[in-house]
Amino acid sequence: MNEQTIHGHITADPVIRFAKSGCTVATFTIAVNRRRYTNGSWSDLPTVFHNVVCFAQLADNVGATLHKGFAVTVSGEWGDDSYTPDGSDRIIRRIKFEANDVAVSLRFATAALPVKSS
């Protein structure tokens, strides 16, 4: 397993779909703003956008919780998301980030979680 972590902001509300099996699928995009410190000053670098997908209970929770602009930390792995458009023999190559955990950042906001009794 090659788990990695991405920190960024959600660019739009997550899209919730259901696979043929009935499994919930959530997709969203994270924008990662980067900066570099060179010669005593900061400069902005181009924003990088990552497509994220998650499944099952995590997808349900993402759909019920996350919204555009939320700062999040996502852990997961890179996966192939290539496809061939209908009527074409050309493969469109792209990748997606398959999340196994998503956390809302509390750096600039608060969150209220339900208390579960044991």
Contact 29, 12 (CB under 8 A): yes
- Contact in structure between 49 and 34 (CB atoms under 8 Å): no
**Domain-wise residue ranges, the chain:** 4-104
How many Cα neighbours within 13 Å face the side chain of 88? 7
Tens digit of pLDDT for each residue in 56-79? Answer: 999 999 999 999 999 999 999 998
Of 5-14, 79-88, 108-117, least confident by mean pLDDT is: 108-117
Segment 99-113 shows an average pLDDT of 89
pLDDT number for residue 19: 94
**How confident is the prediction for the chain on average, in pLDDT?**
92
- Asked whether the predicted pLDDT for residue 118 surpasses 70, the reply is no
Q: Spell out the CATH class of 4-104.
A: mainly beta
- Find tokens 């196994």 and name the residue: 100
- What does the pLDDT look like over 20-43, one tens digit per residue? 999 999 999 999 999 999 999 999
